Amino acid sequence: MPHRRILFSGLLLWIVISFAQTQTIKCSESFINSQTNVSYNPVMDNYDVKFYFLNLDVSDTSIYLNGSVTIKIESLLNDLDTLVFDLVNDLSIDSIVVDGFVTSFTHVQDEIKVFLLNPLEINQQAGITIYYKGYGLEGEWISGIRNSYVSNWDKNVTWTLSEPLSAKNWFPCKQSLTDKADSVYVYLTTDENRKAGSNGLLTKTVNLGNGKVRHEWKSRYPIAYYLISFTVCDYMDFSFYAKPDNTTDSILIQNYIYNDPAFLEQNQSNIMATGQMIELYSNLFGPYPFRNEKYGHCITPLGGGMEHQTMTTLGNFDFILVAHELTHQWFGDHVTCSTWQDIWINEGFASYGEYLANQYLKSQQDADQWILQAFNLIKSSSGGSVYIPEEETQSDSRVFDYRLTYKKGAAIIHMLRQEVDNDSLFFSMLQDFQSDFAGSNASGLDFKNFAEQKISRDFTAFFNQWYFGEGYPVLNINWKQNNDSLYIGLVQHSSAPDKTPVFDILIDYKLRLQNSDTIIRLRQNTNFQEFQIYFPETIQKITIDPHHWILAEIESVLNVSDILSGNVFTLFPNPAQNEVTLLFDNKDENYNILFVDQYGRILETIKHCGYRCTLDISDFPAGLYIIILDDKKMLHTAKLLKQ
């Protein structure tokens, strides 16, 4: 059927009642500079990391490390005489050299203190080389450095995963999200019949003799500490190129996969899909951020994937997994969350990349199925915010909560796209965001403020309810057509009323007519709202949110004979002074009764109490009130005049 869409403003359409709760969830900016790492030493704030150079001996059969890391830093104050870095005590330090001079240090409780012979002045740079060795640490969750045997392909693999705070498990570093290094070199010496993958471009492979080879990787883009990585395995290199519309040069897509022809045969079509994805996202988000180097994958027995900059560590080539990790190259790597409280900047957008890959590269039906599954998972529990309170950032399971951080994070972007209601403008805004925050960090509020500037809208209420707030709206909708008018009544409850009592949402209504469908869009921003719309064509059916834009639970949609019926109850006296009595036709029904003033404010909510219920209205000022009976199926209303 042909489709039409009509956008109505609730301001023009509500007829009597327009209720808005006075309670709001306030945006908090107090946590923007907080560190997740409880052991973070503020002395680290006295310098800026400019460059990492990792030069390590590694193996595909062990997590033993031997080598050095050089960190170039720049002083941020005068007379800087002490530097602090993170490194687990499981790894032992042989010596530390600063600009060619051996320097004293301590290594206690996973913290290195370097005592400079010559204090640094502000803006002065220094190179600190830390020589160390030992078995790296397999951290909790899936982080740190790991080794495993892959029986299906008869391969040993060693790989690293540092998010959120496990880079120190395998190399000395500064674990601060906002202090990105300007560049990184990773030199990996291993057996000559093995490949070692890392960030950036493989600039040289040097045969060292004695059966050893050094793989020299270099990346000249800003990089966060946790995005530095390596893998070692008996790999084959399966590479090809993508050619996005907005680039003049092709982009290398380099894949280190198990060195077995059968693996390539089984996975080649899925691997090649990366080319389509990088072309898609380059069009939607802006040019691939690391186009002068590469995008790639290192296959490991990891259960999922990790978005290491330019070289994702991947467990398999599942379409959705590849889409998610590739989206991270824009959201997470190029623009990184400012704190772990704002992990939505990383994971919410990467998850929405899954929806977009389905929508543009598969079908709208696949995208609809994805978003509906996301909505259902979000609604499996009533509360929880996408923004992570400071006191919860010490828990990896909370930071990486799949329901909230990933799925509800994606739902926010989906609903914001609906609010903008212009894909060209929406994706242009995302491209500008990438440009303005290139190689840097952003918080959720940074994105909100940026979107407001680009879209010329105030998104405070939107972020208060969806990002900082909790829960989702639960809707009961009644409609009736009478002559040339369509009447729609809505009652909204919140799944988390103590946190977010009311949601401001745009709802699409698909009206099925005899020969076509029409979509109208109405804004609900009160707990109870009524609309009267001029609509002379006969409506056969109404479908709510047909294109799945809104995270909401729709309990009922009913075509009622009279949406403003008072047949279920009567009230007297009317007008009344001190009290009013309600008589019901069914004493056993479980009704909610709302006492609402003429401005739509709910003054009192009570439960139905048998045949008769008396309300004390003596303290209410004179005026017009509405009694609303909500039986979870339909609305029954009556007007009351208080004298």
pLDDT digits (tens, 9 = 90+) for 392-427: 988 899 999 999 999 999 999 999 999 999 999 999
What percentage of the chain carries pLDDT values higher than 70? 88
**Rounded to an integer, what distance in angstroms lies between the CA atom of residue 568 and that of residue 587?**
11
Using 50, 70 and 90 to split pLDDT, how confident is the model at 357? very high
Q: What pLDDT score was predicted for residue 5?
A: 41
Q: Would you state the pLDDT for residue 556?
A: 79
What is the structure's pLDDT at 333? 98
Residue that wins the pLDDT comparison between 568 and 351: 351
Per-residue confidence (pLDDT) for residue 113, from 0 to 100: 98
Half-sphere exposure of 43 (CA within 13 A, CB side): 15
Angstrom distance (rounded) from CA 10 to CA 490: 12
Q: Supply the pLDDT for residue 11.
A: 28
Question: Is pLDDT of 26 > 50?
Answer: no
Do 444 and 342 meet the contact criterion of CB atoms below 8 Å apart? yes
User: What is residue 579's predicted lDDT score, i.e. its pLDDT?
Assistant: 78
Give span(s): CATH 2.60.40.3080, the chain: 569-642
Helices 423-436/261-285 angle, 10° precision: 100
CA distances (Å), origin 154, targets 62, 317, 321: 16, 19, 24
Distance between CA 399 and CA 412 in Å, rounded?
Answer: 17
What pLDDT, on the 0 to 100 scale, is given for residue 141? Answer: 64
**CATH 2.60.40.1840 residue window(s) in the chain:** 3-25+471-558
- The more confident residue out of 585 and 294 is 294
Is 49:73 a contact under the CB 8 Å cutoff? yes
Residue 252, Cβ density class (10 Å: 0-12 exposed, 13-18 middle, ≥19 buried):
middle
Task: Say which residue, 634 or 605, is predicted with more confidence.
Answer: 605
Q: Which residue has the tokens 């008996």?
A: 234
Inform me whether the pLDDT recorded for 35 exceeds 70: no
Distance from C-alpha of 419 to C-alpha of 375, rounded to nearest angstrom: 18
pLDDT at 543: 94
| 577 confidence band (pLDDT: 50, 70, 90) | confident
Question: What top-level class would CATH report for the domain 569-642?
Answer: mainly beta
CA distance 112 to 220: 26
Task: Please give the pLDDT value at position 24.
Answer: 30
* Amino acid, single-letter form, for residue 260: D
- Using CB atoms within 10 Å of the CB of residue 260, give its burial: 0 to 12 exposed, 13 to 18 middle, 19+ buried: middle
- Quick one: average pLDDT of 102-116? 97
Q: Report d(CA 606, CA 333) in Å as an integer.
A: 52
Tokens for 24, please give them.
Answer: 């709001």
Residue 232: per-residue pLDDT? 98
The answer to whether residues 563 and 635 touch, using CB atoms and an 8 Å cutoff, is yes
Question: Which tens digits make up the pLDDT trace of 596-623?
Answer: 876 667 777 777 666 677 788 888 888 8
Q: Please list the residue range(s) of the chain that carry CATH number 2.60.40.1730.
A: 37-233
pLDDT at 587: 58
> Which tens digit of pLDDT belongs to each residue from 436-466?
999 999 999 999 999 999 999 999 999 999 9
Contacts for 59 with CB less than 8 Å, ≥ 6 apart:
158, 190, 191, 232
Chain CA centroid to CA 573, Å: 54
Tokens of 63: 């997590």
Residue 140, pLDDT score: 67
CB atoms within 10 A of CB 165: 22
Cα gap 639→598, rounded to integer Å: 10
What is the per-residue pLDDT for 14?
Answer: 28
- C-alpha–C-alpha distance, residues 213 and 193, integer Å: 8
pLDDT tens profile 322-346? 999 999 999 999 999 999 999 999 9
Strand order across the 517-524 sheet: 3-7, 517-524, 505-512, 541-544
pLDDT higher than threshold 80 for residue 181? yes
**Least confident among 210-224, 318-332, 489-503, 504-518:** 489-503
**Model pLDDT, residue 33:** 32
What pLDDT is attached to residue 121? 97
pLDDT digits (tens, 9 = 90+) for 54-76: 999 999 999 999 999 999 999 99
Dihedrals phi, psi of 55, to nearest 5 degrees: -130, 95
Which long-range contacts (C-beta less than 8 Å, at least 24 apart) are formed by 147-155? 147/60, 147/61, 147/62, 147/63, 148/300, 148/301, 150/258, 150/301, 153/258, 153/260, 153/263, 154/260, 155/60, 155/233, 155/234, 155/258, 155/259, 155/260
Bond preceding residue 164 cis, omega within 30 of 0: yes
Using DSSP, state whether 53 is helix, strand or coil.
strand
Q: Within the chain, which residue ranges are assigned CATH 1.10.390.10?
A: 341-468
pLDDT tier for residue 529 given thresholds of 50, 70 and 90: confident
pLDDT at 15 over 60: no
Q: How far is residue 255's CA from residue 178's CA, in Å, rounded to a whole number?
A: 29
| Mean pLDDT to the nearest integer, 201-220 | 97
Per the prediction, the chain carries an average pLDDT of 89
341-468 under CATH 2.40.160.60, yes or no: no
The helix/strand/coil state of 332 is coil
Residue 32 pLDDT more than 70? no
Question: Which superfamily, per CATH, for 3-25+471-558?
Answer: Aminopeptidase N, middle-beta domain (2.60.40.1840)
d(CA 478, CA 560): 6
Tokens 């989206």, located at residue: 327
586: left (phi over 0), alpha (psi -120 to 50) or beta: beta
Q: In which region does residue 359 sit, left (phi positive, over 0), alpha (psi from -120 to 50) or beta (all else)?
A: alpha
**What fold, for 37-233?**
Immunoglobulin-like (2.60.40)
Helix (H) or strand (E) holding 201: strand 201-209
What is residue 527's predicted lDDT score, i.e. its pLDDT?
Answer: 82
144: left (phi over 0), alpha (psi -120 to 50) or beta: left
